[in-house]
Amino acid sequence: MPDAPHDDARPWTPLGTVTTLGSYLPRRCGIATFTHDLTEALAGAATDVDVQAIAMNDRAEGYRYGPRVAFEINENRLAEYRLAADFLNMSPAGVLCLQHEYGIYGGDHGAHVLELLRRVRLPVVTTLHTILKDPNERQKEVLTQLAEQVDRLVVMADRAFTFLTDIYRVPQHKIALIPHGIHDVPFVDPAFYKDQFGVAGKKVIITFGLLSPGKGLEHMIEALPAVTKRHPDAVYIILGATHPGILAHSGEDYRIGLQQRAKELGVEDHIKWFNKFVEIDELLEFLGSADVYVTPYLNEAQITSGTLAYALGAGKATVSTPYWHAQELLADGRGKLVPFQNPDGLAKAINELFDKEVDRHAIRKAAYTHTRPMTWANVARQYLDVFRQVREERRANPKPLAAAPVSPHTTPDGDELPEVKLDHLRMLTDSCGVIAHAKATVPDRASGYRLDDNARALVAVLTAQDFAATADRFEERLDMIASRYLSFIDHAFDRGTGRFRNHMGYDRAWDADPYSEDAHGRAIRALGETVARSNLLGHRTLAARLFQDALDACETFEHPHGWAYSLIGIHAYLRRYSGDTHAKAVRETLAHRLFAAFRDRGADDWPWPSDTLTYTAARLPQALLMSGRWMFNNEMIQQALRSLDFLNHVQTGDNGQFAPIGTHGWYPRGGHKARFDQLPMEAGGSIDANLEAFRVTNREHYLQRAHRCLQWFLGDNDLRQPLYDQTTGGCFDKLNPEGVDENQSADATVSWLLSLLSMHEHALAQDQDRAANAARAHNQSQGEGSDDGRPATTPTITPNVQPPTPRSSTTSV
């Protein structure tokens, strides 16, 4: 951690990995083409973002996907949706962009995809390719549930926006309008491409896409005699394979029926059939050869048409029936609309375009100009903007799980505490010390060793001697593990400067990093606790010598955190050697510096010694409380309580849960509190500070606050996800907007252990106090009085302090 906070400006949120999910090429369907094109456009528009795809399979053997596809789902296997969610949750933080069409997902009307959405922790942006105006009950239920689960719905037409708000009751703020993407092609004369398709010198009409009865091609064929009578050089290109679903059900019956009808009408020589699924480059050449593009769909229920978007993007004069998407795209002179199932209307519109070349070119130009903002590069940038918006929104308003998986060892009141389990700390510890980081639960040797981790681990094992499970106590003596940590601290001390080095590589070489005030202060705490707690004289002797050698440097520190950590360590040392005048003198100096910083730099609405609340903020009032208590300085106590109350107010969530200030921006004065990323050390610091406040004031709400902070580890947090791993005894690194970071570092694990041990120590102290009070009461009832001449309870200082309200308590990144 830095000794001083970084710049107060709110940071930009990186996107991490963007994952698209839908059918994917080489699968033959329009959604597959869209997903592929969008994925590649995103990769091209954001070179600093990793882009991958999850492909939906409609057959058991799947497809031969390219390297962009990272995972596959069999659409009919519900378990694979769950596995996909697990796969996404293991991936780097990012965004899921899901393509929705009822038919590409398994279950009743595609309901299987809801299982994935319930489990995935990433923000989700869903592109809706079908929105029904008159859905049946189940169709409406599936789409409504999907809308509730995702962060944003993308639609490609204004009418789709209206359908969602009016029919499905989706809030407007949850909908984004982004047009269907098109390929950026030049505006060229159709004659340029005609010869390669054998239609040079012809007037070319084209329809492309997967063939199915809903496309209405029979009506265009029936219009062809009237067209060819007036323009004998007209030719109609029908490009596309039969839809796989139709092919599997009825083979080529639809295509054969169209060919028979053309023969009956005498226009078979004016139709060129290309029964194939073409790649994008060839498709654009086919489109380039067309003078007129036709979509004769049978009814209005087509909210999006990729083929229509591609045709207009290529600058084609278009004739279409008035389905919903066509009504919007062909408005304002960008094409011609004709009634449904009306061959005469089709023939008339096409003949007019062939007759009036000037009008045809005007329509072409209007279509081409209108669609320039729809190029895939522009569309990708709009999607990326939405992705960033939902990432920011998720940070400010995280999506919790359905229920809090609170540890079974802990009651809501905190009456029972989990056992102290040191398994993961042992796993991270080798003959040198505790390894700093882990990849999941496996020690990451490349991370080396840090002084502050070893210092805090030393405090943890010394405290755990009274509370660790029996297996932990006897598997390996804890004092042997403590020896390694103490040896590391001793080796870290640079006797030439009186300072501690902080980071050692796995190769046992010290980094040349500047000395850290924080790490030095934590080492002072570990040495003080060793002096106070260790049962081994050798440990106490070495710790006391190191403590004395390192103490003078604390007076040179410039930052409140360094003072605070040092003060906490000095108070631990003074528990055993209360008469050490040098230690008390340094305590006096640092305590007054910390008190002056609170007093001189704070204000009524911001009682804090800096303009930004940053990491382990609770350690500052904790240190000042300790100092005021043992130096009998009531002003210090009042200031510390006032500042702690302020901090507790800031770090309380909407439901009363502990919600620590996130590292992603911290909390600048007059600004916004960062919601994420939340660190375990914040909960640990708040537990110790509130327990200290309870000891000073005997006010129950401080004790309750400490319990709420411990519950943060166990699932009572913004995302209702536990950070403590009961299987390993470790703790996840942090709470992100998408969930927990599943690496279990030394810092996080030791933070959990120290937090739990603080609560165990407090519970033990309360039990001992109750037993002592009961004994005194019994003695007094027997007329014996107190055996030590002291009152039954220790007087406490209870100043009347009200928590201030910060000027801005708005929570966001």
Predicted confidence (pLDDT) at residue 786 exceeds the cutoff of 70:
no
68-72, 416-420, 795-799 — which is least confidently predicted? Answer: 795-799
| pLDDT confidence band for 476 (50 / 70 / 90) | low
124-128 and 152-155 beta bridge pairing: parallel
Q: Which residues pair with 208 in a beta bridge?
A: 239
Structure token pair of residue 2: 């830095």
Predicted confidence (pLDDT) at residue 410 exceeds the cutoff of 80:
no
Confidence (pLDDT) at 739: 85
Give the contacts of 170 (CB within 8 A, at least 6 positions apart): 147, 153, 164
- % helix / strand / coil in the chain, to the nearest 5? 50, 15, 35
Q: How large is the average pLDDT for residues 600-604?
A: 94
Confidence (pLDDT) at 364: 95
Predicted confidence (pLDDT) at residue 81 exceeds the cutoff of 50:
yes
What percentage of the chain has pLDDT greater than the value 90? Answer: 78
Confidence (pLDDT) at 468: 64
Confidence (pLDDT) at 39: 97
Report angle CA 82, 88, 94 to the nearest 5 degrees. 145
| pLDDT confidence band for 399 (50 / 70 / 90) | confident
Q: What is the pLDDT of residues 189-244, one digit of tens each?
A: 999 999 999 999 999 999 998 898 989 999 999 999 999 999 999 999 999 999 88
| pLDDT confidence band for 783 (50 / 70 / 90) | low
Confidence (pLDDT) at 66: 95
Residues in the chain: 813
Predicted confidence (pLDDT) at residue 409 exceeds the cutoff of 50:
no
Distance CA 244, CA 103 (A): 13
Predicted confidence (pLDDT) at residue 411 exceeds the cutoff of 50:
no
What percentage of the chain has pLDDT greater than the value 70? Answer: 91
| pLDDT confidence band for 395 (50 / 70 / 90) | confident
Q: What is the pLDDT of residues 576-595, one digit of tens each?
A: 999 999 999 999 999 999 99
| pLDDT confidence band for 791 (50 / 70 / 90) | very low
Distance CA 35, CA 122 (A): 19
In this structure, what DSSP letter does residue 157 have?
S
Q: How large is the average pLDDT for residues 722-738?
A: 93
Q: What is the pLDDT of residues 496-547, one digit of tens each?
A: 999 999 999 999 999 988 899 999 999 999 999 999 999 999 999 999 999 9
| pLDDT confidence band for 793 (50 / 70 / 90) | very low
Distance CA 99, CA 241 (A): 23
Q: How far is CA 57 from CA 71, 77, 467, in A?
A: 10, 10, 53
Confidence (pLDDT) at 634: 96
Distance CA 591, CA 560 (A): 10
Q: How large is the average pLDDT for residues 148-177?
A: 96
Report angle CA 666, 151, 126 to the nearest 5 degrees. 140
Q: How far is CA 416 from CA 411, 705, 755, 756, 758, in A?
A: 6, 16, 14, 11, 14
Confidence (pLDDT) at 772: 77
| pLDDT confidence band for 285 (50 / 70 / 90) | very high
Q: What is the pLDDT of residues 4-18, one digit of tens each?
A: 333 334 445 578 899
Structure token pair of residue 552: 């003078």
Confidence (pLDDT) at 7: 37
Q: How large is the average pLDDT for residues 49-69?
A: 95
Confidence (pLDDT) at 782: 66
Predicted confidence (pLDDT) at residue 414 exceeds the cutoff of 80:
no
Q: How large is the average pLDDT for residues 390-417?
A: 61
Predicted confidence (pLDDT) at residue 805 exceeds the cutoff of 90:
no
> Which of 38, 36, 9, 37 lies closest to 25 in space, CA to CA?
36
> What is the average pLDDT value for the chain, to the nearest integer?
89
| pLDDT confidence band for 792 (50 / 70 / 90) | very low
Helix, coil or strand: residue 17: strand
Confidence (pLDDT) at 397: 78
